[in-house]
Structure 1
Amino acid sequence: MDAQALLQQFQNMAPGGAAALGASQGGALESLGDLSKALQASNYQTDVATLEGGGALGVQSLDTAMKTTVQENEHFTLFNRLQQTKATNIVDEYVRQTNVGGFLGGSTNSQMGVVRAAQGEYSREVGLVKFLMSLRQVGYVLNIGKNIVEATAVEERNGALQLLTDSNYLLYHGNADASPTQFDGIFNIIDKEIAAGKMSDDNVIDMRAKPLNSVEPLSKINVAVSRYGSWGRSTDIFLPNSVQNDLNMGLDPAFRWIPQGGNTPMIGGHVEGIRLQNGVLKTNMDTFIHDEENPMVYPFEHHFPDIATKNAAFKPAAVAADASASDASSYFETGHAGNYYYAVAAIGAGGEGQTQIVKTSQTAVAAGKKVVLTITQSASGTETGYAIYRSRQNGTNATDDLRLVKVIAKTGASTTFTDLNRDIPGTVSVPLLNMGPSADAIGWRQFQPMIKIPLPFGIGGMPVISWFQFLFGYLRVTKPKHHGYIKNILPSQATWRPFAE
């Protein structure tokens, strides 16, 4: 029985069939051999260096603990900071008030004048709970053996870490339009509000491939979120270590905040907070934000080749690039003119991940031009979005030399994307949020606690203990005007640089 047949048998036995498996991107193990290796206690190896899978958990010599180099709870920085509230339905409704009514000075009147009517402005908002799910299995013999750790407990913890990892990542980079199983992250939520004319584009600052080492862009967003009509403030910034390092090495000491009794602020010292007009902006380091080491900024197949290959059914049929037209809003300046390669991967509708990329031929881009990509859907037409990649200026078309530009939704049999050099590959975006408890401007909305559901013993005809782990929720942003972000930050120590200059 091959792995696909085993998976099908499991799906038929499990309540709800295939749909019950949810949207796990990992999917089934690639072969029955891999599954057996993960579940069995040992394959009678005598060379400890060859132990892997479940066999690696057995006690050897004087081992008393398992050493891990995986994410811990402390690494889910944004998820841990968000206020968490309970959703009572998977269609979660709330009312947003944007105005108290009237106009400035409009309540003045004479003694006997007709009193003018005024009413607050309200809108009904809807949030959709999304479903994060993981299937976990432990071999029966492995579970009862004398191991370094109790195997079932380890896998329960691994399941929880996987769900929290995906949650924290999607809080930033979720895109429900391109991948319907995801909830929207903060960047996509802000972009949608600006596109709909509900908030100012002043809430987004473009560094245009420069490092973040001054207070100016931070102050600009703080001004935008605190002005009349917004009445917010920036309390927290979330950033990767590379951007934090530039602040440490470049921020003027006059704007550095050190807790009471700390050392004198100086260049090179860690910036814990930044003094702004109406308070301190606290810095929070988060490894799940896209920077040059995040696996999701590479073509999917670079880190997940087996999954990308398995998704061949919805791989784009073709991609063409046209850089012949000029555009007054183009950010391709003289220093950016040159030759580029583009590539596109399709995104699965059910959380399957991405396909292998389809590359364009070399495209010459002159100053003031725009590049229009035309993406022809796969033969199946089942993809829901695309990930766009671009090479370095005058770089190669090697797969590992391409970086993510943007994730977009599919719009039909043919989808176009226009590159105006406003989303620069190899750069970082960092959000500035209002996380004041009294503001209640952003939070994690959860449908139920993380839950484990045991499955019948021996699923698939094998002696295994199996269970589902679920986490249902989404990012609810009740006051979008209180938030903003800085985009196209190029850390000074970045090794992959989009432009030669």
Structure 2
Amino acid sequence: MGFFTTVETASVSEAELLKSLQAGYQTDSAQMVGGRTLIPEDIEGTMVNAMREQKEDCKFVNSVKKKSVNSTIHEYNRRTGVGNYKYLTTEEGGGSETSDQELERKTVKIKYLQDRRAVTDQMALVDGFEDAYTSEKIAGTLNVLKAAEYFCFHGDETVVPTQFDGVLRQIEKSKNANIYDVRGKSIATVGERIITDPVGMIFEAGGDANKLFFPPILAQDIQDLIRDRIRFGTSGSGAMNLVVDQYPTPYGSTIYFGQEAGADKFFHVKGLVTADGSPLKRPKAPTEVTTTSAADGKSKFAAADAGNYKYTVHSVNKYGISDGKEIDDSVAVSAGHKVTLKIKASAENTESGYVICRSAKDGDVVMEMVRIGKDESGTTEFNDFNIELPGTAQMVFLTEKKIQEVINWDQFCPLRSRPLYESNRAEIPFLIQLFAALDVKAPEWCAIAKNIAYRGGLYY
């Protein structure tokens, strides 16, 4: 059989075919007639450097241990118990019953953070302080890191399926969630129990809380509380401290909220909601929202809460938040009643969930109360039992120091820059990609303090 010098497969030449086969092996472009293949670039080092420089902005992501996973669906067994320790005694030479550990199968869905960037030919030629491509790559890296930090707190795949569940949502979804509800009181009013009670819940579940995160608006309230209760000697390192970054608890653990914890710029309060995101791709407001009120045993509307309430509903998807659909009339609520909202999807039906906003009793200002997923039927029903209070804040307590990791950052693909095919525009496009998810392995060793009044909120 003879040798063929040229092969034509449909419209693909031998040279083009060889180029495709060599993709990913970084064959020198001088050897390739059609040019070099598009090869993703690992920029994990850029991420590490960016995280070091932005450690005050990305406290949570910085502090979580990274774990490499090899599947978009990461599965493992979680130990929830080691046996019954109360009945292990026996007589001399006696036998023992077999003890079994308690295991739970855990599944983590990897989510995909991605940011498209581009550098024009003109910008690439400009003699600036730094290379334009490198500058844009760093900007994209910082943007993805900020997204990761934000979703570590506020991610909710029920509302936006492309998000991973943040630490708040994972604790709330757990079997025996540790949630301390202050019912609209301020930190000054609650006192040190705002810290000791959640830590006590964690201690009773087997954990030892040692880290606290909260929105920046609560930072001064925390300082005022702690400094009022801790006495310093006239000598020593603590004598002249202007800022306190730790608090010893009655349970033997010390809660830290300094440089690696405490106030986080991406931990937001429930506040005013406005249209946000891509004007072209974000959803439209719901078509219609109706309300009814009826008695219900689950209601937390007490006699002091009886009054008139205003509601507004915003649609949400992965591209943004819509304008609000305001209910024309206030809803009169009596003690022991609930308010049922029926939300009809927008005409385009592009939303994946809703942000429900409400006023305080007899108030006019509405703020975020809760986010819910959309019902596929087209009409979503939500019952307001007054469990979640609008215009309030949350704090989260974490156990970090254990033999096994309590919280992991499961990373399927390290941060990378992926070149894109150049079109008819004079620019070099690329993607910054990070494929990962937050995994709270032991939510029973974490806790949430919720419905905290803050300055500028509805209950302060």
- Report the alpha carbon displacement of residue 372 of structure 1 after superposing the two structures with TM: 1.1
Contact 2:226 2:247 in 1 (8 A): no
- Report the alpha carbon displacement of residue 148 of structure 1 after superposing the two structures with TM: 4.6
Matched, 1:122 2:95: no
Amino acid at match of 2:446: H
Identify the match of residue 122 of structure 2 among 141, 149, 174.
Answer: 141
Percent identity over the alignment is 26
Structure 2 gap segments, 5+ residues each: 1-52
Matched, 1:495 2:453: no
Aligned length: 398
2:367 aligns to what? 403
1:468 aligns to what? 431
**3-state SS of paired residue (1:157):** helix
Identify the match of residue 180 of structure 1 among 150, 161, 167.
Answer: 161
Q: Whole-Å Cα distance in 1 between the matches of residues 230 and 402 of structure 2? A: 24
**3-state SS of paired residue (1:251):** helix
Q: Whole-Å Cα distance in 1 between the matches of residues 430 and 331 of structure 2? A: 50
1:108 aligns to what? 89
Identify the match of residue 161 of structure 1 among 136, 142, 146.
Answer: 142
**3-state SS of paired residue (1:332):** coil
Matched, 1:93 2:75: yes
Matched, 1:383 2:351: yes
- Report the alpha carbon displacement of residue 253 of structure 1 after superposing the two structures with TM: 4.2
- Report the alpha carbon displacement of residue 174 of structure 1 after superposing the two structures with TM: 0.6
**3-state SS of paired residue (2:323):** coil
**3-state SS of paired residue (2:165):** coil
When Rg is computed on C-alpha atoms for both structures, the one with the higher figure is 2
Matched, 1:371 2:336: no
Contact 1:309 1:356 in 2 (8 A): no
Q: Whole-Å Cα distance in 2 between the matches of residues 106 and 438 of structure 1? A: 25
1:338 aligns to what? 307
Matched, 1:222 2:199: yes
Structure 1 gap segments, 5+ residues each: 1-70
- Report the alpha carbon displacement of residue 320 of structure 1 after superposing the two structures with TM: 0.9
Amino acid at match of 1:282: Y
Contact 1:337 1:366 in 2 (8 A): yes
- Report the alpha carbon displacement of residue 255 of structure 1 after superposing the two structures with TM: 4.5
Amino acid at match of 2:252: N
Contact 1:253 1:265 in 2 (8 A): no
Distance 1:223 1:482, change over 3 A: same
Q: Whole-Å Cα distance in 2 between the matches of residues 332 and 395 of structure 1? A: 16
1:55 aligns to what? none
Please report the RMSD computed on the Cα atoms of aligned residues, expressed in angstroms: 2.5
Which structure has more relative contact order (CA 8 Å, sep 6+)? It is 2
Amino acid at match of 2:414: P
Q: Report Cα offsets for 1:40-84 as digits up to 9, x if no partner.
A: xxxxxxxxxxxxxxxxxxxxxxxxxxxxxxx94431111111111
- Report the alpha carbon displacement of residue 439 of structure 1 after superposing the two structures with TM: 4.1
Amino acid at match of 1:332: F
Amino acid at match of 1:161: L
1:63-74 alignment to 2 at 5 Å?
A: 72-74=54-56
Identify the match of residue 394 of structure 1 among 345, 350, 362.
Answer: 362
Contact 2:418 2:431 in 1 (8 A): yes
Contact 1:391 1:498 in 2 (8 A): no
Identify the match of residue 274 of structure 1 among 247, 254, 271.
Answer: 247
Distance 1:255 1:445, change over 3 A: farther
1:388-467 alignment to 2 at 5 Å?
A: 388-396=356-364, 401-413=365-377, 414-436=379-401, 438-457=403-422, 459=423, 461-467=424-430
**3-state SS of paired residue (1:358):** strand
2:60 aligns to what? 78
Q: Report Cα offsets for 1:300-344 as digits up to 9, x if no partner.
A: 41x44xx356434x6422111223x12344333344333222111
Contact 1:445 1:474 in 2 (8 A): yes
Q: Report Cα offsets for 1:81-131 as digits up to 9, x if no partner.
A: 111111111111111011112x34333345676642321111221111100
Contact 1:308 1:356 in 2 (8 A): no
Q: Report Cα offsets for 1:263-310 as digits up to 9, x if no partner.
A: 3388xx422011112121001210111126xxxx43241x44xx3564
Q: Report Cα offsets for 1:390-432 as digits up to 9, x if no partner.
A: 1343333xxxx43111111123322211112221111111100
Contact 1:393 1:498 in 2 (8 A): no
1:266-305 alignment to 2 at 5 Å?
A: 269-276=242-249, 277-283=251-257, 284-291=262-269, 297-301=271-275, 303-304=276-277
Distance 1:446 1:308, change over 3 A: same
Amino acid at match of 1:288: F
- Report the alpha carbon displacement of residue 495 of structure 1 after superposing the two structures with TM: 2.3
Q: Whole-Å Cα distance in 1 between the matches of residues 161 and 112 of structure 2? A: 11
Amino acid at match of 2:447: G
**3-state SS of paired residue (2:341):** strand
Q: Whole-Å Cα distance in 2 between the matches of residues 257 and 82 of structure 1? A: 32
1:225-236 alignment to 2 at 5 Å?
A: 225-227=202-204, 230-236=205-211
Contact 1:322 1:371 in 2 (8 A): yes
- Report the alpha carbon displacement of residue 367 of structure 1 after superposing the two structures with TM: 3.1
Q: Whole-Å Cα distance in 1 between the matches of residues 281 and 105 of structure 2? A: 41
**3-state SS of paired residue (1:210):** coil
Judge which range, 325-334 or 91-100, deviates more: 325-334
Amino acid at match of 2:248: R
Distance 1:239 1:257, change over 3 A: farther
Q: Whole-Å Cα distance in 2 between the matches of residues 90 and 310 of structure 1? A: 27
2:282 aligns to what? 311
1:347 aligns to what? 316
**3-state SS of paired residue (2:183):** strand
Matched, 1:486 2:449: yes
Amino acid at match of 2:146: T
TM-score of the aligned structures, taking structure 1 as reference length:
0.74
Matched, 1:251 2:226: yes
**3-state SS of paired residue (1:220):** helix
1:29 aligns to what? none
